Chains A and B, each alone.
Chain A
Amino acid sequence: MRGSHRLALFFLFPSLIFVGVFTLYPIFESFRLSFYRTILTLPWLGQKMVGWENYADLWTDPVAVQSLKTTIIFVAVTIPLELLLGLGMALVMNEVFRGRGLLRAVVLVPWAIPTVVSSQMWRFIFNDRYGLFNVVLFGADTARYTAPLAEPGPALMAIMAAEVWKTTPFAGLIILAGLQTIPDELYESASIDGAGAWQKFRHVTLPLIRPALLLALLFRSIDALRVFDLVFVMTQGGPADATNVLQFYGYKKTFAEGMIGYGSAVAVGVFFISLALSLTYLRLLRESRLEGATR
């Protein structure tokens, strides 16, 4: 097709403008700003070029390091839970039975709820006086009511619970899509070979949904790395910084304290971690696709 090159560019032009101006440029700008020291409430300091100083500080900043650990814990705990529960959901939804449509609709509800609504909802559930959590655990025995959001460990667990609840359906749907591409014949031939349900699962289902699992892993990990809404509404990073995830720390530094240079360094750090993770997953994905194709 002649002239197709030019036409293609013409069609792509608006996209490139928006993405270029509002996504790519900010990344480079963040990068640039991280080499300066800029503090909004001290305008007479001006913008001083400090090279790698912000990054050196980040490396030795115990809060940043702790924040990284908290974020990693968050990702490492929520993702496997979501995949497991999502797999369970998908397996049930894959079966043909009456009410399957209704189940699918119901499963989408947590996903449809806005994150801030979900966060307020869970904050209320964990309330130490009126919350569902305490009612379910202790009934009318109000003396034993606890305040999960008041203690560092439980607060982090509460945030993770809220996250898993909201996003498991998403993982479930992606896995469901993978399940549905498995042809029935494979199961039938496995049955003929004398395989039981568990063996069918292990040798037919699991390998073939590996791409879907990896994709769910990919999307969910990237999203979990950038969790913000939950923390902002439920705990504001506390108690004792227990829920101070990276994106929240960056927000505090940049928008609350006005330390734009340092905040940019945090942002760039998070960006590179995301990038590294994405690239790793994408490679794993491609490898598994190749494997699946050659099978």
Chain B
Amino acid sequence: MKRSAALWIFSFGIGLYCLLPFLWFVLTSFKNETELTAIPPTLIPSFHLSFYQSALEKHGLLKYIANSAIVAGAATLITIVIGSLAAYAMARMQLAWTKFYMLALLAISMFPQIAIAGPVWTILNRIDWLNTYQGLVSAYIALTLPLATWILTTFFREVPPEIEEAALIDGCSRLQALRRVVLPLAMPGMLTAALLVFIYDWNEFFFALIIMTSPNVQTLPVGIALFPGEYTMPWGDIAAASTMATLPLIALTLLFQRGIVRGLSAGAVKG
């Protein structure tokens, strides 16, 4: 079938385009020193783990990963909780200013970081929250709330109000209705939003760069960006560290790809 063949060719092309650069990096991480600096570069590595060892031991990669997990995890949790409350309010209470609020949220999420970074740094400096988990987490919550609320509102709107009305008639308070009826139905949407927020927080670089300067609390992106090079660039170590940093994300993404696609396009179609 000609159509099928054409589709396969295109798919292959797209796949190659998307995967090749990263695959190259991953292959590099498995080389040893001489293969790395060979000119021209060797294509297929013999499988050495020396770079991984180096990245873990010399550069303390595990610490960075732990820090990222703590910060991203906490920030995501709090963002989803607060965002859900707000989204529920927006979805249920048909108030005149909800439309404006939604647009305002969208506009706010478009602020360039540089416009916010300086004063945020000053605030955290004054309350001594620089180089602390809570400092960065607070910044992240503020950064992701707008978009998270937007997505969550879209999902909350999908929960039919009749079910809630039925619960209220049955004698539940609004909070009970929220907990027992709405939440289970909105859970997929919340998970999607949580995933998107987590990935954003995990990858965030700018604020992490200026707020976390002590290696004890630095997150992974900062660690990888500043990978030390006293006289040369340790490309092998960087490749190994990058692979380790990215594979969990890729795994997460592949597992939840349907949800992610839905979440990203939720705003597109319905918002």
- Whether A and B touch (Cβ < 8 Å) is answered with yes
**Can you list 15 A-B pairs with a CB-CB distance of less than 8 A?**
A8-B89, A23-B143, A30-B115, A92-B14, A106-B18, A107-B14, A108-B253, A108-B261, A113-B249, A117-B224, A124-B25, A125-B21, A177-B268, A246-B114, A251-B206
| B268 engages A282 (CB within 8 Å) | no
B 84-126 binary contact with A (CB < 8 Å = 1; else 0): 0110111011010000000100111011111111111011000
| A274 engages B250 (CB within 8 Å) | no
- Of B17, B108, B110, B245, chain A has the most CB atoms within 10 Å of the CB of B110
**Dominant SS among interface residues on chain A:** helix
Asked if B46 is at the interface of the complex by the 8 Å CB criterion, the answer is: no
The B1-26 residues at the A interface (CB cut-off 8 A) are: 4, 7-8, 10-11, 14-15, 17-19, 21-22, 24-25
Asked if B257 is at the interface of the complex by the 8 Å CB criterion, the answer is: yes
For residue A125, which residues in chain B have a CB less than 8 angstroms away from its CB?
21, 24
Asked if A201 is at the interface of the complex by the 8 Å CB criterion, the answer is: no
Asked if A294 is at the interface of the complex by the 8 Å CB criterion, the answer is: no
The A218-270 residues at the B interface (CB cut-off 8 A) are: 222, 225-226, 228-229, 232-233, 246-247, 250-251, 254-255, 260, 263-264, 266-268, 270
Given contacts A18-B138, A95-B7, A228-B113, contact A26 B120 (CB under 8 A): yes
For residue B7, which residues in chain A have a CB less than 8 angstroms away from its CB?
92, 95, 97
| B82 engages A169 (CB within 8 Å) | no
Asked if A25 is at the interface of the complex by the 8 Å CB criterion, the answer is: yes
| B41 engages A130 (CB within 8 Å) | yes
A19 contact from B4, B95, B103, B108, Cβ within 8 A: B108
What's the least CB distance linking A245 to chain B, in Å? 10
Asked if B55 is at the interface of the complex by the 8 Å CB criterion, the answer is: no
| A142 engages B93 (CB within 8 Å) | no
In whole angstroms, how far apart are the Cα atoms of A172 and B64 in the complex?
Answer: 32
| A120 engages B238 (CB within 8 Å) | yes
Range of interface residues on chain A?
35 or more
| A115 engages B25 (CB within 8 Å) | no
Q: Which residue of A lies closest to B88 (CB)?
A: A11
| B138 engages A215 (CB within 8 Å) | no
For residue A196, which residues in chain B have a CB less than 8 angstroms away from its CB?
none
For residue A267, which residues in chain B have a CB less than 8 angstroms away from its CB?
112, 114-118
| A27 engages B245 (CB within 8 Å) | no
| A30 engages B116 (CB within 8 Å) | yes
A33 contact from B18, B118, B203, Cβ within 8 A: B118
In whole angstroms, how far apart are the Cα atoms of A266 and B141 in the complex?
Answer: 25
For residue B141, which residues in chain A have a CB less than 8 angstroms away from its CB?
18, 22
Asked if A190 is at the interface of the complex by the 8 Å CB criterion, the answer is: no
For residue A120, which residues in chain B have a CB less than 8 angstroms away from its CB?
224-225, 227, 238, 242
Given contacts A33-B119, A255-B210, contact A114 B224 (CB under 8 A): yes
| A140 engages B245 (CB within 8 Å) | no
Asked if B36 is at the interface of the complex by the 8 Å CB criterion, the answer is: yes
A15 contact from B43, B86, B119, Cβ within 8 A: B86
In whole angstroms, how far apart are the Cα atoms of A115 and B269 in the complex?
Answer: 27
Asked if A174 is at the interface of the complex by the 8 Å CB criterion, the answer is: yes
In whole angstroms, how far apart are the Cα atoms of A33 and B118 in the complex?
Answer: 10
For residue A228, which residues in chain B have a CB less than 8 angstroms away from its CB?
113-114, 205-206
In whole angstroms, how far apart are the Cα atoms of A127 and B239 in the complex?
Answer: 14
The A1-40 residues at the B interface (CB cut-off 8 A) are: 1, 4-5, 7-8, 11-12, 14-15, 18-19, 21-27, 29-30, 33
- Of B21, B36, B146, B220, chain A has the most CB atoms within 10 Å of the CB of B21
For residue B110, which residues in chain A have a CB less than 8 angstroms away from its CB?
222, 274-275, 278
In whole angstroms, how far apart are the Cα atoms of A22 and B269 in the complex?
Answer: 30
Asked if A152 is at the interface of the complex by the 8 Å CB criterion, the answer is: no
Sample of 11 further A-B pairs with CB below 8 A, known A112-B246, A271-B115? A89-B14, A97-B4, A106-B18, A113-B250, A121-B25, A124-B238, A232-B205, A232-B209, A247-B112, A274-B110, A279-B107
In whole angstroms, how far apart are the Cα atoms of A127 and B123 in the complex?
Answer: 40
- Of A33, A113, A125, A216, chain B has the most CB atoms within 10 Å of the CB of A113
| A275 engages B21 (CB within 8 Å) | no
